[in-house]
Amino acid sequence: MIQSKLPRVGTTIFTVMSGLATETGAINLSQGFPDFPVERDLISLVNQNMEHNYNQYAPMSGTPELRSALAAKYKLLYGRNYDPQTEITITAGGTQAIYTAITALVQPENEVILFAPAYDCYAPAVELSGGRPVYYEMHAPDYAVDWNKVKSLVNRKTRLIIINTPHNPSGTAWTEKDLLALQDITKGSDIIVLSDEVYEHIIFDGMKHQTVALYDDLSSRSIVVGSFGKTFHATGWKVGYAAAPAPIMKEFRKIHQFVTFAVNHPVQRALAEYIQNPDHYNGVAKMYEEKRDRFASAIAGSRFGIRPSNGTYFQLLDYSEITNEKDTDYAVRLTREMGVASIPVSVFYPNGSGDKVLRFCFAKENETLDRAAEILRSI
């Protein structure tokens, strides 16, 4: 008999709901992947690098060209200097970077503060490292943080605080006030911040992305995780990165070399050239903001309540005027009976949640969004 290291973990909700969507032929607004093509210029660059025979292992930490391009981007956007040789590592997607960071930094008996609803890869990695997740719960409608309550969770066992902004699944984005509060809580401590910023370029309504890289003391104790797949709607490529001060990155790379060692070589080289043009990532927010607004406008007048989406490509809809069912039950029924698949937000809490909200992905072709909205409007 095998003794599970994660006895409470089953198949992820994304796999479950996408599988149900496939089974029923429902419109899949559950799993967060775009259904429209990657830009042809980027595809062409990947193909060119394949043709030029960059098809063998890339350097363990990533190609020098891509790490240098990322360092230049951080300097341009946030005024932060990261040494591309010692402080940036290319990873096989954001999830691998998060897992690697947690396993590199968390020791048995350490506590790790998570903000629920929390993306589902955080807690399992903490537990596999022998750590204990400690949750601060945010709730609808605004998912705001009381930083005094967060501070009360900090003690001598606190090793890591994991944050995510723009936030999946709520679609909220933290402000300067939030980051300054976090900086104040961690200042003078040994606490490290793991900042999941994979949606950094998908932020709306003129808001500025608040990265830990903007704040001197906070950046000195933080590891930032980013994702090219999210930014360039190429989630299947699984290419991301981590940036951190050299002492933290040194420990990160010790684990990284035994998790994946190297990441897709021709894609790295293509991205290195592509991101040198800021227009390629600066225009992403406008495109998704238009999709957000189209979806919201199309379901206006329905019985669903629209919760503000400040970033990511997710929209929360409140269904409390429709049914009192648990979100897990209603998400299944909405998929089977109405033909639209979503994600129940309660699964991102340690013990569930009474909030009557579902998460819908609007990173879809306009036709897909319009068909889904027509169904939702009819309920």
Task: Give Cβ neighbours of residue 178 (< 8 Å, ≥ 6 apart).
Answer: 145, 147, 165, 210
Q: Identify which of 216, 219, 236 has the alpha carbon closest to the alpha carbon of residue 228.
A: 236
The pLDDT tens digits along the chain (379 residues) read 888 998 888 888 888 899 999 999 999 999 888 999 999 999 999 999 999 999 999 999 999 999 999 999 999 999 999 999 999 999 999 999 999 999 999 999 999 999 999 999 999 999 999 999 999 999 999 999 999 999 999 999 999 999 999 999 999 999 999 999 999 999 999 999 999 999 999 999 999 999 999 999 999 999 999 999 999 999 999 999 999 999 999 999 999 999 999 999 999 999 999 999 999 999 999 999 999 999 999 999 999 999 999 999 999 999 999 999 999 999 999 999 999 999 999 999 999 999 999 999 999 999 999 999 999 999 9
Q: Let me know whether 17 and 58 are in one domain.
A: no
d(CA 120, CA 302): 30
Inside any domain, residue 3: no
Q: What is the pLDDT of residues 306-326, one digit of tens each?
A: 999 999 999 999 999 999 999
Inside any domain, residue 5: no
Inside any domain, residue 338: yes
Query: Torsion angle, CA of 270/273/277/280, rounded to 10 degrees?
Result: 10
Q: Is 40 exposed, middle or buried (0-12, 13-18, 19+ CB in 10 A)?
A: exposed
Which amino acid appears at position 10 of this protein?
G
Inside any domain, residue 311: yes
Sequential DSSP letters for 229-287: HHHTT-GGG--EEEE--HHHHHHHHHHHHHHTS---HHHHHHHHHHTTSTHHHHTHHHH
Domain end point (choices 260, 279, 298): 279
Inside any domain, residue 108: yes
pLDDT at 10: 81
pLDDT at 33: 86
Q: Let me know whether 271 and 193 are in one domain.
A: yes
Q: Let me know whether 318 and 251 are in one domain.
A: no
Inside any domain, residue 1: no
Which amino acid appears at position 269 of this protein?
R
Q: Let me know whether 79 and 168 are in one domain.
A: yes
CATH number at residue 87: 3.40.640.10
Give residue 373's domain range.
Answer: 13-31+283-377
Domain end point (choices 236, 260, 279): 279
Q: What is the pLDDT of residues 220-259, one digit of tens each?
A: 999 999 999 999 999 999 999 999 999 999 999 999 999 9
Say how many domains are in the chain.
2
Q: Let me know whether 126 and 235 are in one domain.
A: yes
Inside any domain, residue 4: no
Q: Let me know whether 331 and 359 are in one domain.
A: yes
CA 209 to chain centroid: 14
d(CA 274, CA 242): 18
Q: Let me know whether 161 and 134 are in one domain.
A: yes
**CB 259, CB 96: distance < 8 Å:** yes
pLDDT at 193: 98
d(CA 67, CA 65): 6
Give SS3 for 104: helix
pLDDT at 1: 80
d(CA 234, CA 217): 33
Q: Let me know whether 80 and 172 are in one domain.
A: yes
CATH number at residue 349: 3.90.1150.10
CA angle 94, 136, 169 (to 5 degrees): 45
Q: Let me know whether 251 and 265 are in one domain.
A: yes
Can you read off the two tokens belonging to residue 172? 């909220």
Domain end point (choices 256, 279, 302): 279
Inside any domain, residue 343: yes
Q: Let me know whether 271 and 301 are in one domain.
A: no
Q: Let me know whether 174 and 302 are in one domain.
A: no
Give SS3 for 63: coil
CA 139 to chain centroid: 18
Q: Let me know whether 229 and 302 are in one domain.
A: no
C-alpha distances (whole Å) from 70 to each of 38, 57, 89, 275 are: 20, 20, 10, 8
Which amino acid appears at position 193 of this protein?
V
